[in-house]
Amino acid sequence: MFGSCCGPVLASGSAPTAVRLMRSRFTAFAIGDDGHLLRTWHPSTRPDRLDLDDGIRWQRLDILDQEDGGPFDDRGVVEFEAFYRDDEGRGTLRERSRFVRENRLWLYVDGVTRNG
């Protein structure tokens, strides 16, 4: 599954839809690929660096909603819930993320989060 879904997006940084980019970014968090996260983050909101928490083990991503974000759109919104485990047990992170497509590339802009 990794090779056909997120592998190509992680390698190229190019996703056909906002949802595919979101899935690749979740995978990047899970495997600690901060380079992919930074490359796919819009320059207007991208941090200089990321400090990923090695103690969090990302386990599953559920897409809850999406608005636009298709191959012919310039903007999109993806709402997701990500499930994880850490030293304190299980938890979830829910976010409504905004994406834009510039120069044929989808980029993460920002999101509103809620921890579960």
Q: Are 78 and 66 in contact (CB under 8 A)?
A: yes
Q: What is the pLDDT of residues 2-16, one digit of tens each?
A: 455 676 777 777 899
Picking from 33, 30, 1, 20, the residue whose alpha carbon sits closest to that of residue 97 is 20
Global pTM value: 0.90
Q: What is the pLDDT of residues 38-73, one digit of tens each?
A: 999 999 999 999 999 999 999 999 999 999 999 999
CATH topology for 6-115 is: Nuclear Transport Factor 2; Chain: A, (3.10.450)
The reported pLDDT for the residue numbered 2 is: 47
Q: In Å, what is the CA distance from 93 to each residue of 2, 111, 116?
A: 22, 12, 6
Q: Are 59 and 85 in contact (CB under 8 A)?
A: yes
> Which strand ranges, in their side-by-side order, compose the sheet holding 57-68?
57-68, 75-86, 89-102, 105-115
